Amino acid sequence: MQSFQEIIFKLKQYWAQRGCIIQEPYDVEVGAGTMCPETFLRVLGPKPYRVAYVQPSRRPADGRYGDNPNRLFKHSQLQVILKPSPDDVIEQYLGSLEAIGIDLRKHDIKFEEDNWESPTLGAWGIGWQVMLDGLEVTQFTYFQQCGGIDLDLVPAELTYGLERLSAFLQLKDSVYDIEWNGAFSYGDVRYLDELQYSVYNFEMADIPTLWKLFDLHEGEAARLIAAYNPKAADKRRFPLLPAYDQVLKCSNLFNTLDARGAISVTERVGVIQRVRKLAVAVAHAWADQQKEPEPQLASTEVAQ
Amino acid sequence: MSLPLLFEIGTEEVPDWMIQSALASLRASFEKLAIPHDSIAMDATPRRLTLRAQGLPERQPDTEERILGPAKSAPPQAVAGFARKQGISPESLTVETTPKGEYYTLLKRVEGRRTIDILAESLPGIVLQIPFPKTMYWTGKGGARFIRPIRWIVALLGASVVPFELAGVRSGNVTAGHRRLGAREVVVTTADYESKLRENYVILSADERRAKISGEMAGMGAKPDAALLETLVYLTEYPTPITGSFDPQFLELPEEVLSTVMRHHQRYFSVAGDSGGLAPRFVAIMNIEADPEGFVRLGNERVLRARFNDGRFFWETDQKKKLADRVEDLAHVTFQAKLGSYLEKTKRVAALTGELGGDAQAVRAAELLKCDLTTELVKEFTELQGVVGGLYARAQGEPESVWKAIYDQYKPESMEDEIPRERCGQIVALADKLDTLRGCFSVGLIPTGSRDPFALRRAAQGIVRIVVEGGLDLDLEPWLDAGENRAALREFFQDRVRYYFKDIRGFKYDEVSAAMAAGWSNLADLETRLKRIRDLRASADFEPLAASFKRIKNILEQAQFRDAGAIEPQLLEPGPEKDLYDEYTRLKGRTIEEAIGALRPKVDLFFDKVLVNVADAGVRRNRLTLLSALLAPFSSIADFSEIVTNS
Report helix, strand or coil for B434. helix
The string of pLDDT tens digits covering residues B574-588 is 888 888 888 888 887
Chain A, residues 227-266, CB within 8 A of chain B, namely 264-266
Query: What CATH topology corresponds to B2-59+115-199?
Result: Alpha-Beta Plaits (3.30.70)
CB contact under 8 A, A153 and B302: no
Interface test with A, best of B132, B135, B136, B330 (most A CBs within 10 A): B136
Measured between beta carbons, the chain A residues lying within 8 angstroms of B298 are: 133, 171
DSSP run (H or E) holding B606: helix B592-609
Q: How far apart are CA B540 and CA B530, in angstroms?
A: 18
Mean pLDDT across chain B:
92
B302 touching A (Cβ < 8 Å): yes
- Nearest CB to B287; choose among A108, A126, A142: A108
Q: Which residues in chain B are closer than 8 Å to A116, comparing Cβ atoms? A: none
Query: Quick check: A144 contacting B, CB < 8 Å?
Result: yes
B303 near A CB under 8 A: yes
> How far is it, in rounded angstroms, from Cα B78 to Cα A198?
99
The identity of residue A165, as a single letter, is L
Give pLDDT tens digits for B15-43.
999 999 999 999 999 999 999 999 999 99
How far away is chain A from the Cα of B149, in angstroms, using its nearest Cα?
A: 9
Which residues, including other chains, have CB under 8 Å from residue A119's CB and lie 6 or more apart? A272, A276
pLDDT band at A260 (very low <50, low <70, confident <90, very high): confident
Q: Whose CA is closest to B460, among B489, B502, B427?
A: B489
Residue A170 sits at the chain B interface (C-beta within 8 Å) = no
Say if the Cβ atoms of B332 and A265 lie within 8 Å.
yes
pLDDT level of residue B85 (50, 70, 90 thresholds): confident
| Cβ contact B12–A91 (<8 Å) | no
When mean pLDDT is compared across A190-194, A284-288, B103-107, the lowest value belongs to B103-107
Residue B295: what pLDDT?
95
pLDDT > 90? residue B191: yes
- Which pLDDT belongs to residue B593? 82
Predicted local confidence at residue B399, as pLDDT? 96
Q: Which residue among A113, A134, A154 sits closest to B138, beta carbon to beta carbon?
A: A154
Residues in chain B closer than 8 A to A266 (CB atoms): 334, 337
pLDDT value, residue B116: 97
Please state the rounded mean pLDDT for residues B188-193: 98
What's the rounded Cα separation, in Å, for the pair B32 and B126? 10
Query: Quick check: A63 pLDDT over 90?
Result: yes
Is B87's pLDDT higher than 90? Answer: no
Write down the CATH superfamily of domain A205-290: Class II aaRS and biotin synthetases; domain 2 (1.20.58.180)
Listed range (A79-93, A259-273, B413-427, B495-509) with the worst mean pLDDT: A259-273
Give start-end residues of each CATH 1.20.58.180 domain in chain A.
205-290
* H or E segment and range at residue B174: strand B174-175
Q: Does A68 touch chain B (CB under 8 A)?
A: yes
Low-confidence winner among A5-14, B4-13, B307-316, B613-622 (lowest mean pLDDT): B613-622
pLDDT recorded at residue B647: 52
pLDDT, residue A265, reads: 61
pLDDT in tens, A114-154: 999 998 899 999 999 999 999 999 999 999 999 999 999 99
Kindly tell me the burial class for residue B331, based on how many C-beta atoms sit within 10 Å of its own C-beta (0-12, 13-18, 19 or more).
middle
CB-closest option in B139, B288, B300 to A105:
B288
Confidence category of residue A297, pLDDT binned at 50, 70, 90? low
Task: Select the residue of A68, A85, A115 nearest B138 (Cβ to Cβ).
Answer: A85
Q: Looking at residues B81-85, what average pLDDT do you find?
A: 87
User: Architecture of B539-642 per CATH?
Assistant: Orthogonal Bundle (1.10)
pLDDT score recorded for residue A304: 41
Chain A hits for B136, CB-CB cut-off 8 Å, are 125-126, 142, 144, 154
User: Is a pLDDT exceeding 70 seen at residue A299?
Assistant: no
**Distance (Å, rounded) from C-alpha B146 to C-alpha B143?**
10
Domains in chain B: boundaries = 2-59+115-199, 65-110, 206-319, 323-530, 539-642
Residue A30 reports pLDDT greater than 70: yes
Whether residue A135 and residue B293 make contact (CB cut-off 8 A), yes or no, is no
Reference A57, options A76, A79, A38, A80; nearest CA is A76
Neighboring chain B residues of A126 at a CB cutoff of 8 Å:
134, 136, 148
Which DSSP string do the residues of B409-420 spell out, in sequence order? TT--SSSSSPPP
Q: Mean of the pLDDT values across residues B205-215?
A: 97
Average pLDDT in the A72-86 region? Answer: 97
Nearest residue of chain A to residue B285 (CA atoms): A108
Check A110 against B304: CB less than 8 A apart: no
Contacts of A112 in chain B (CB under 8 A): 235
Neighbours of A209 (CB within 10 A): 10
Domain A4-201, second-level architecture: 2-Layer Sandwich (3.30)
Output DSSP code: residue B204: -
Least confident piece of the model among A177-181, B290-294, B472-476: B472-476
CB contact under 8 A, A142 and B184: no
> Is the CATH code 1.10.3210 the one for domain B323-530?
yes
- Alpha carbon distance A146, A153 (integer Å): 12
Q: Cβ contacts (< 8 Å) between B232 and chain A: which residues?
A: none
Distance between A104 CA and the closest CA of chain B, angstroms: 6
| A61 has a chain B CB within 8 A of its CB | no
Residue B181: exposure state from Cβ atoms within 10 A (0-12, 13-18, ≥19): middle
Q: Give the closest of B184, B296, B334 to A108, CB-based.
A: B296
End-to-end CA separation in angstroms for chain A: 64
**Complete edge-to-edge strand list for the sheet that includes strand B94-98:** B63-71, B101-110, B94-98
Closest residue in A to B299 (Cα) is: A133
Residue B25: which of B206, B191, B146 has the closest Cα?
B146
Residues 6+ apart with CB under 8 A from B306: A69, A70, A173
Nearest to B10 by CA among B226, B206, B237: B237
Closest partner CB to B15 (pick from A113, A150, A168): A113
The predicted model gives B471-496 an average pLDDT of 92
Of B136, B180, B300, the CB nearest to A142: B136
With residue B216 as reference, give the H or E element that holds it: helix B206-217
What confidence score (pLDDT) does residue B564 get? 64
Q: Which residue of B has its CA nearest to A262?
A: B332
Q: Which helix or strand (DSSP H or E) is residue B335 part of?
A: strand B334-336
Q: Supply the mean pLDDT for chain A.
A: 93
pLDDT exceeds cutoff 60 at B54: yes
Q: Cβ B180–A91 below 8 Å, yes or no?
A: no
> Which value does ipTM take for this structure?
0.92
Binned at pLDDT 50, 70 and 90, residue A268 comes out as confident
Q: How does pLDDT run across B487-532, given as a tens digit for each residue?
A: 999 999 999 999 999 999 999 999 999 999 989 999 999 999 999 9
Of A164, A188, A189, nearest to A174 by C-alpha is: A164
pLDDT level of residue B643 (50, 70, 90 thresholds)? confident
Q: List the beta strands (DSSP E) in B434-483.
A: none
What are the residue ranges of CATH 3.30.930.10 in chain A?
Answer: 4-201
Give contacts of A171 with chain B, Cβ < 8 Å. 298, 302
Record: contact B309-A168, CB cut-off 8 A = no
- Strands, E assignment, B351-472: none
Cα dihedral A144, A150, A156, A162, rounded to 10, equals -70
Residue A295 confidence (pLDDT): 57
Q: What is the mean pLDDT of residues A154-181?
A: 96
CB B3 within 8 A of CB B54: no
CB contact under 8 A, B180 and A105: yes
Closest CA to B368 of B317, B429, B323: B323
Are B303 and A134 inside 8 Å of each other by CB? yes
User: Is the whole model's pTM more than 0.95, yes or no?
Assistant: no
The whole-angstrom separation of Cα B475 and Cα B490 is: 12
Residue A115 contacts B, CB cutoff 8 Å: yes
Contacts of A154 in chain B (CB under 8 A): 136-140
Question: Distance between CA A17 and CA A20 in Å, rounded?
Answer: 7
The pLDDT score that the predictor gives to residue B612 is 83
